[in-house]
Structure 1
Amino acid sequence: MIVTFDLFSALTDSRRGGSAFFADLAARHGWDLTGEQAYDRWDRHNKALQRTARAPETFHEVSLRALTAAYAELGLPVDRAGADLAALEDSVADWPLWPDVAPAVRAVAERHRVGLLSNVDDPLARRTRAHALVDPELVLTSQRLGAYKPDPEIYRAAARAVAPEPLVHVAASGRDVRGALEAGLATVRLVRPGHVLDAAGPRPPLEIEDAADLLAVLEEL
């Protein structure tokens, strides 16, 4: 089977990596806010905009709109948003994986083909540490599939892209779990700090708290 992972929730500790970037940026510019405050404000706008984003708008363009809105709310110079986003995207290469990721993904890759299913542009996916753990032919991005999570279409497009092999998606965020289940994908929820299920969405039948348990769950499937 094909096993895809969400890039910036299931595999990457994105809040830790992004907050470190914004903390350094705030220190250099003398901004009176924490890295977590800046990251959370940008991330909130980014997630909201992805709900209505449609191709051919790129993830970079969505992220720029989100960062501009976040800077405006925080009283930061919005004319810096473009340059700061470019630096933020470069910093993704240093964002840490969750501690259980590397050995678990390698173990799964010994039995199944593994990939990514993410709301990003291809170049950004290639910068991440997770990219080295998966089959580069199975990096299924919003740019490649022409849709954005949580729209069920991105999951259906991913399933079509790997057909006739069956697809299992490993998700952490509530919106990713809901989108995958509503699209009819076999879905495993990997519990991560800061991520809760959508209260109005379907409940995942399979749930693990450590990626090391994933291979056993996949064998049951």
Structure 2
Amino acid sequence: MTLQPDRYELLTFDCYGTLIDWETGLADALDRVARAHGIEAEREDLLALFAQAEHPIQSGPYLPYREVLRRALAVVGEGLGFETSSVESEEFAGCVAHWPAFPDSPTALERLHDRYKLAIVSNVDDDLFAASAAKLGIEFDWVVTAQQVGSYKPDPGHFHEILDRFGGPQERILHVAQSLFHDVAPARELGFTTLWINRRAGQAGSGATPLADAVPHAQVPDMAAAARLLLDE
């Protein structure tokens, strides 16, 4: 499918993995804990363990994302043969605030905001996103978090909420995201047009997200390419 930039009024973004480099931040945080227990593990192995741990927790009764991180770290520790301390658990629960933005994200968002309304739909707590937002350099028109809707993608709660806030036709929204599992699959099922930011192009596996066979309407390798596409350059 060829996207038609003039068709869209609102671009909705996943944040972590799309705009913020969560795999680098997450892998670094996991590696610090593992090394403190005398364990050296490959980055991709740590991310895969986290992906296996996180989704079952998010699929249960709603918990704040800080608590999801605490519990996921405990599961990763069990998988690697160690028990995490309360200090390690608390530090890991706050590590989101230290995850870096992808270098191309702030400029791409600034350019896109000249033409489109922009919104965040993210699996995170409000205060954790606020720390990340400061690194992205723009004020989003809407921010929808897991804390606000009481659920985590791929549950459809975020998407229903942004439709309500936007108030316009769904056909005027383009959802932009890196995770096929958390974003592209549920967005497509609900009838959204999707643009996949394939940050892991050329890498094996699915990193910190579970595998999914969802097919996006279009894909680009990064946010710089997304901006060029959506600004007709």
TM-score, with length taken from structure 2: 0.78
Residues 212, 11 of structure 1: CA spacing in aligned structure 2 closer, same or farther, 3 A cutoff? same
Shift of 1:19: 1.7
Q: Which amino acid aligns with 2:195?
A: V
For residue 60 of structure 2, what is the aligned residue in structure 1? 53
In structure 2, the residue corresponding to 1:126 is in which secondary structure? helix
Structure 1 distance, partners of 2:133, 2:123, is: 16
Q: Which amino acid aligns with 1:147?
A: S
Are 1:97 and 1:129, in contact at CA under 8 Å, matched by a contact in 2?
A: no
Are 2:126 and 2:145, in contact at CA under 8 Å, matched by a contact in 1?
A: yes
For residue 173 of structure 1, what is the aligned residue in structure 2? 179
Q: Which amino acid aligns with 2:75?
A: A
Structure 2 distance, partners of 1:130, 1:198, is: 31
> Is 1:214 the counterpart of 2:220 in the alignment?
no
Shift of 1:7: 1.2
Structure 1 distance, partners of 2:25, 2:15, is: 13
Residues 11, 128 of structure 1: CA spacing in aligned structure 2 closer, same or farther, 3 A cutoff? same
Identity over the aligned pairs, expressed in percent? 26
For residue 163 of structure 2, what is the aligned residue in structure 1? 159
Q: Which amino acid aligns with 1:185?
A: F
- Give 5+ residue unaligned stretches, structure 1: none
Residues 158, 25 of structure 1: CA spacing in aligned structure 2 closer, same or farther, 3 A cutoff? same
Are 1:190 and 1:207, in contact at CA under 8 Å, matched by a contact in 2?
A: yes
For residue 3 of structure 2, what is the aligned residue in structure 1? none
For residue 90 of structure 1, what is the aligned residue in structure 2? 94
**Two-structure CA RMSD over aligned residues (Å):** 2.6
Structure 2 distance, partners of 1:53, 1:73, is: 20
Q: Which amino acid aligns with 2:227?
A: L
Residues 93, 148 of structure 1: CA spacing in aligned structure 2 closer, same or farther, 3 A cutoff? closer
> How many residue pairs were aligned?
213
Shift of 1:143: 0.9
In structure 2, the residue corresponding to 1:16 is in which secondary structure? helix
Residues 192, 167 of structure 1: CA spacing in aligned structure 2 closer, same or farther, 3 A cutoff? same
> Is 1:143 the counterpart of 2:151 in the alignment?
no
For residue 33 of structure 1, what is the aligned residue in structure 2? 40
Q: Which amino acid aligns with 1:61?
A: E
In structure 1, the residue corresponding to 2:191 is in which secondary structure? coil
> Is 1:74 the counterpart of 2:84 in the alignment?
no
Structure 2 distance, partners of 1:25, 1:71, is: 9
Residues 60, 6 of structure 1: CA spacing in aligned structure 2 closer, same or farther, 3 A cutoff? same
Structure 2 distance, partners of 1:66, 1:26, is: 14
Are 1:6 and 1:170, in contact at CA under 8 Å, matched by a contact in 2?
A: yes
Comparing 128-137 with 12-21, greater Cα deviation is found at 128-137
For residue 23 of structure 2, what is the aligned residue in structure 1? 15
For residue 64 of structure 1, what is the aligned residue in structure 2? 70
Q: By percentage of residues, which structure has more helix?
A: 1
Q: Which amino acid aligns with 2:145?
A: T
Residues 127, 216 of structure 1: CA spacing in aligned structure 2 closer, same or farther, 3 A cutoff? same
For residue 212 of structure 2, what is the aligned residue in structure 1? 198
For residue 187 of structure 1, what is the aligned residue in structure 2? 194
Shift of 1:59: 1.9
- Structure 1 segments, 4+ long, off by >6 Å, are none
Residues 86, 162 of structure 1: CA spacing in aligned structure 2 closer, same or farther, 3 A cutoff? farther
Structure 1 distance, partners of 2:50, 2:88, is: 12
TM-score, with length taken from structure 1: 0.82
Picking from 107, 113, 122, the partner of 1:109 is: 113
| Larger RCO, structure (CA 8 Å, separation 6 or more) | 2
Shift of 1:142: 0.9
